[in-house]
Amino acid sequence: MLIEPPFSRLFKGTYSLDRYPLALGYLSAAVAEGTQWDVSAYNADFSSQGEPLSYSYLTGPGFENYRKALADPSAPVWGEVRRAIAEYGPAAVGISAKSQTFASACRVARLAKEVNRRSLVIVGGPHPSMVGSEALKCPDIDVAAVGEGERTIVELLRAIETSGDLEAVPGIAFRRGERAALTPLRPFIEDLDSLPFPHAYAPRVLRDYDRYPVTAFKYVFATRGCPFRCTFCGSHKIWSRRVRFRSPGNVAAEVQGLQGRGLRFVHFDDDTFGVSRQYIGELCEALSSRCPGLKWSCELHVKLVEEGTISLMKSAGCYSVQLGIESGSNEILREIRKNCTIEEALSAAAIIKKAGLELSVFFMVGFPQETEQTLKDTLRAMERISCDTVIYSIFTPYPGTEAFDLCRQNGLIGDDFDVSLYNHHSPANCFCIRLAPERFREMVSRAERMADRRNKWNRLRRLLSWRTLGRVRELGIRRGLRKGIRTFLGR
């Protein structure tokens, strides 16, 4: 059984991650095609009775709810996870864990062992790829998979079948008596076209498949790897900095299959879509010729934005772009090696909006080098930039990244660092060398309120056309409308 641990549902019981995680899709397809094992994929962060995620940036009860649910073994979500494991009765349990979900993954591991002490518990994903054998400090985890998992999971299951030595399986850390053994790193998969499509086996393996909305299956990877060197990101520990490309024809074939299931939109989940203008052009050509009527979105690097590329993407069905800008300060952008300036980012945003595409922008505050002035620069950029959505977060140091090491060197992180306490929505986050926590919280609260108001206003603007507003004026209720808008925006 392959499990995505609950996370959003710990913040609020009615939240639901309405997507089929690509990790579960790729791994379950690899098991189905490469072994004789029965396999079930279980997204424990999904609830068929739930509501879509809707985080507010303003500090509220959500994080405290998360902490309480994480610590309470009697919380309803853990009872559901236990029942799911018990019903399937797996001999092996694989759990996909990011740093922010690792504490939840450890709780799932404990439940798996309570159901069947002899089951082999494997954890994979970004967090174990970053920390390696440290993941085995959780006593209920038997094996940690490092890096890409499709080949690893198949070889692990074959080793279990034959009672073979796990030492022969590259890319894992495992318990050998009282110590942790680490095998050599596994080479990266060169031919990504050789992997089965992650959604191909979903009807057969995904628990509660019939209860998912069709949009849960809209996520696609076209590439693996990111050539950029952002200090806060650990992507290279999983995929490497050398980009590997699926052939455009292979991507188009997967998208055709998704269209056949009723999907009209897909989102490319790559760390940086396309990476090169040449590949973007080839992929756009394949999508245009083989996937008529498709609409799609992606995350693009500022350096790849120019009018010709955006025009080509739009003609191939792109309707929405995300840009990772992070800071409004060129000083911070240099420190975190973002490989762009705020002037270039503002220009890229203007090109995207001029082309008529929707635009979401990522901003992050609280980097170790942050000062009052750099925070003001970021707030000013958030106000100035032409976009539809501001995706705001607080810097979180993930173990294994350069930024984490910098925080440790400056005494911001101790040996007792608890990954469950810190995530991009955590009010506990403050890792600034030059700013006290009280002043930091005071300043970032302004950014949180501004982002919240701006996003609410943009949603309202999309709902109410100017023609509708004109009709409202004719009816003489502008004052009531203004009052309603102020209430909606929280002013």
How is 272-322 classified by DSSP, letter by letter? SSSSSHHHHHHHHHHHHHHSTT-EEEEEE-GGG--HHHHHHHHHTTEEEEE
Q: Kindly state the greatest CA–CA separation across the chain.
A: 79
The 3-state secondary structure of 409-431 reads HCCCCCCCCCHHHCCCCCCCCCC
Task: Please give the model's pTM, rounded to 2 decimal places.
Answer: 0.91
Nearby residues of 56 by Cβ (< 8 Å), 6 or more positions away: 62, 452
Kindly indicate the confidence band of residue 177, based on its pLDDT and cuts at 50, 70 and 90.
confident
Are 361 and 391 contacting, i.e. CB atoms less than 8 angstroms apart?
A: yes
Higher pLDDT, 396 or 60: 396
Q: Where in the chain is the domain with CATH 3.80.30.20?
A: 218-474
Amino acid 216: pLDDT: 96
Amino acid 181: pLDDT: 94
Question: What is the token pair recorded at 434?
Answer: 């030059």
Amino acid 14: pLDDT: 85
Rounded percentage of the chain residues whose pLDDT exceeds 90: 77
Predicted confidence (pLDDT) per residue in 74-91, tens digit: 999 999 999 999 999 999
- 416-432: average pLDDT: 88
Q: Is the pLDDT of residue 483 over 60?
A: no
The owner of tokens 């002043």 is 439
367: closest CA among 343, 323, 408, 332? 332
Displacement of CA 263 from its chain's centroid (Å): 21
Amino acid 191: pLDDT: 97
Sign of CA dihedral 324, 327, 330, 336: negative
The mean-pLDDT minimum among 24-38, 143-157, 197-211, 432-446 falls in: 432-446
402: amino acid identity, one letter: E
Q: Where in the chain is the domain with CATH 3.40.50.2300?
A: 2-182
Across 109-136, b (16+ Cβ under 10 Å) vs e yields bbbbbebeeebbbbbbbbbbbbbbbebb
Q: How far apart are CA 111 and CA 106, in angstroms?
A: 9
Are 138 and 103 contacting, i.e. CB atoms less than 8 angstroms apart?
A: no
Q: For the chain, how big is the Rg over CA atoms in Å? A: 23
CATH class of 2-182: alpha beta
The mean-pLDDT minimum among 53-57, 206-210, 241-245, 469-473 falls in: 469-473
- Partners of residue 298 on adjacent β-strands: 321
Amino acid 490: pLDDT: 54
Nearby residues of 206 by Cβ (< 8 Å), 6 or more positions away: 20, 24, 28, 40, 41, 42, 43, 212
Amino acid 56: pLDDT: 57
Question: What is the token pair recorded at 350?
Answer: 């203007």
Amino acid 82: pLDDT: 98
Amino acid 451: pLDDT: 87
Q: How far apart are CA 15 and CA 51, in angstroms?
A: 5
Q: Is the pLDDT of residue 474 over 60?
A: no
Amino acid 58: pLDDT: 46
Q: How far apart are CA 463 and CA 425, in angstroms?
A: 27
Predicted confidence (pLDDT) per residue in 350-363, tens digit: 999 999 999 999 99
Rounded percentage of the chain residues whose pLDDT exceeds 70: 93
CATH of segment(s) 218-474: 3.80.30.20
Q: Is the pLDDT of residue 485 over 70?
A: no
Are 395 and 232 contacting, i.e. CB atoms less than 8 angstroms apart?
A: yes
Kindly indicate the confidence band of residue 397, based on its pLDDT and cuts at 50, 70 and 90.
very high
Kindly indicate the confidence band of residue 466, based on its pLDDT and cuts at 50, 70 and 90.
very low
Mean pLDDT (the chain, rounded) = 91
